[in-house]
Structure 1
Amino acid sequence: MKLTELDLNLLLVFDRLVQDGRVSRVAESLGLSQPAVSNALRRLRDLLGDELFLRTPAGMVPTPYAQQLASPVAQALHTLQSALNVRASFDPANSDRCFTLAMTDVGEIYFLPVLMDTLAHEAPGVTLRAVTVADSTLREDMATGRVDLALGSLPPLQAGYFQQALFRQRYVALMRQAHPLAVRPQVTATLYRQAAHVRVVSAGTAHGLVEEALQRLGVHRTVQLTVPHYVALGHVLGNTDLIATVPERLAERLTAPHALVARPLSLKLPVSTIAQYWHAHLHRDPGHQWLRGCLARLFGAGEAGTVSA
């Protein structure tokens, strides 16, 4: 079919149905009546020669053909929207925009308290939604606009993405203030081997590089607890003689609330670069530029400039 035969509003309805799955929700979000949404879906079915959505108790489920169309249509709509908004201004003090940020649990602990405090003073109407950076659909979610910005240490994305380094950080040993190793200025390889450890297995993140480095160094340790994330780490360390190997920026956030101390390691572990990542369709968006500027101002250490990934 030719684009001249297609009403762009039909694609807006299609995109919303993919996301929301219910005619009533689509009607509300687009400011239409439910009959108008149903009529738009009927017209699109006739044009494309496919049912597109099947009604089920759980809502409108896309057909295989609709699933193939979903990502390209969403990306095209977001690209068009971004192009139309290039010259638009952004006033953080009066904006009610919602940004979706992808990050690890470490990122949530480190970034969000400072960022939310800044928003409260500079952009009280702006809201944030945090999602996991380890999601396998991250690239697609960024390309289609479901995720605005990713924070962390990520592998190269691909052409069409930008990144800006914020800071570099090493890994340190974290323990309670009364831990026997807390009196030491540094945790040596021997002391590290002798200690009892908490191991954090943070799937899909750069923290796995530490485990790989320990294996290469031939460092064997006693792991008494393995956890899938960092959420409970402060509470565990504060009440045991276990130690954990963590990014130093996380250690900064956990030491005071949980009466912990951080000590440098003599082991040569990798240093990670934490950056912010975004898709090209948001590169010139004024609101997105403002948010990136905030993050660079609050957390940047002048490590690197903006480059395409």
Structure 2
Amino acid sequence: MNLREIDLNLLVVFQQLYKERRVSVVADNLGLTQPAVSNALGRLRKMMGDELFLRSARGMEPTPYASQLAEPIDFALTTIRDTLERQLEFDPAASERRFTIAMTDLGEIHFLPRLMRRLAELAPGVTISTVRNTAVNLSDELESGRVDIAIGLLPQLKAGFFQRNLFRQRYVCIFREGHALDKDALTLQDFEEAQHVVVVAGGTGHAIVDEVIAKRGIKRNVRLSVPHFVALGHILSNTDLIATVPERYVREGMAPFKLRYLPHPVPLPEFDVNLFWHAKFHKEPGSQWLRNVIADLSVAQGVGTAPAAQPGFRSDANISAINTPKVS
């Protein structure tokens, strides 16, 4: 017998007939008509090559072959039902799982200190590994599960992914204290005449800054380009260069370098920092838990939009599918 030809619904009818022995009762239990149950029995007889159930004064009596099949079919259906209905759990306090998160150095500055403090409270055995968005094929790594989640401005993640907004922020201009531009406001002329360091954050959406500036015909005297944000503090604090960076980076990572920032003179679009995961892992308990922990941290900082709840155990809120992936 070819398993591909077996309709599990027929086995459910078999199970019910063996238990109830009456077509009318089985029809009521399964929400079917009596002819539908009789038709299913006919298909079962053809598939099994046996009458299976015979009419008698006591109802539908099973044949010896049906009696032989009854126990393994009941076991198989019960196993399938229990597997589908079982609520998988993730116990953070007992887990020693290692999660891999894709993020930029900017994300590490903002998220990792808070996340590690929270994990020390909730999940002391859980460990975190980070990878750069540009160091891997992010879409493939998320789909395979080698990377659990990604955080950032990542427009390259298309269909098959979910995203959850963490916060929105704007771009600002940053420079050292005592800089000639260290004043109340920055003009467009100031911006064009200054010397710039540019962060070329490949694999993210931050390239929109360069695109907007170029489209507006604004000239920049770019003296230095670097591939990441982490060195900016050292560079800016010891030079007269200025940089265009996300505001949260300045507020949280630049205090040791005595830097100042002003609103950007170019009307740049604000951007969303989102949490991304593949649809295959949308209901995976460990992934759900970590996503909620990170979302709770954003809420605690006053930049998230999700409602308050027990930390780390809220069901996903404020999430959206990218190009509506199908989740089974």
Please, what TM-score do these two structures have when normalized by structure 2? 0.65
Answer yes or no: is the 8 Å Cα contact 2:134–2:203 preserved in 1: yes
Q: Shift of residue 85 of structure 1?
A: 11
Shift of 1:236: 0.5
Question: Is the CA contact 2:191–2:265 (under 8 Å) kept in the aligned structure 1?
Answer: no
1:170-249 correspondence to structure 2 within 5 Å: 170-182=170-182, 184-249=183-248
Aligned to 1:104: 104
Deviation at 1:265, TM superposition (A): 1.2
CA contact (8 A) 1:133 1:151 kept: no
**How big is each residue's C-alpha offset from its partner over 1:280-304, in whole Å with a ceiling of 9 and x where there is no partner?**
1211122211111111111242188
Equivalences, count: 229
Q: 2-side partners of 1:201 and 1:258: how far apart?
A: 21
CA offset at residue 186 of structure 1?
Answer: 2.4
* Structure 1 partner of 2:264: 265
Over residues 256-289 of structure 1, what are the superposed CA-to-partner deviations in whole Å (9 max), with x where a residue is unaligned?
Answer: 1211112111211121111001011211122211
CA contact (8 A) 2:102 2:151 kept: yes
Distance 1:160 1:3 in 2: 30
Separation (CA, whole Å) in 2 of partners of 1:160 and 1:205: 18
Q: Which amino acid aligns with 2:222?
A: V
Report the residue type matching 1:143 in the other structure.
E
Determine the structure 1 residue equivalent to 2:145: 145
Partner in structure 1 of residue 121 of structure 2: 121
SS of equivalent to 1:281:
helix
**Alignment match, 1:305:** 318
Aligned to 1:288: 287
Quick one: structure 1 residues 190 and 85, their matched pair in 2 at CA, closer, same or farther if it must change by over 3 Å? farther
Asked which structure has the greater RCO (Cα within 8 Å, sep 6+), the reply is: 1
Structure 1 distance, partners of 2:121, 2:256, is 24
| CA 1:256–1:99: 2 relative to 1, 3 Å | same
Tell me, in whole angstroms, the C-alpha distance in 2 between the residues paired with 1:156 and 1:299. Answer: 23
Task: Tell whether the 8 Å contact from 1:172 to 1:246 is kept in structure 2 after alignment.
Answer: yes
CA-CA distance at 1:242 after TM superposition: 1.0
Aligned-partner Cα distance in 2 for 1:285–1:236: 43
Q: Structure 1: which 5+ residue stretches go unaligned?
A: 5-82
Offset at residue 230 of structure 1 (A): 1.2
Distance in 1 separating the partners of 2:120 and 2:230: 24
Residue 157 of structure 1 deviates from its aligned partner by 2.5
Q: Considering only aligned residues, what root-mean-square deviation do their CA atoms show, in Å?
A: 2.2
Max Rg structure: 2
> Unaligned 5+ residue runs, structure 2?
5-82, 307-316, 323-328
Counterpart residue type for residue 225 of structure 2: T
Consecutive aligned runs of 4 or more in structure 1 exceeding 4 Å deviation = 83-86
Q: By how many angstroms is 1:84 displaced?
A: 8.0
Question: 1:136 Cα deviation (Å)?
Answer: 5.4
Letter matched to residue 264 of structure 1: P
Give CA-to-partner distance per residue, 1:205-237, whole Å, 9 cap, x none: 111110001001111011121111112110011
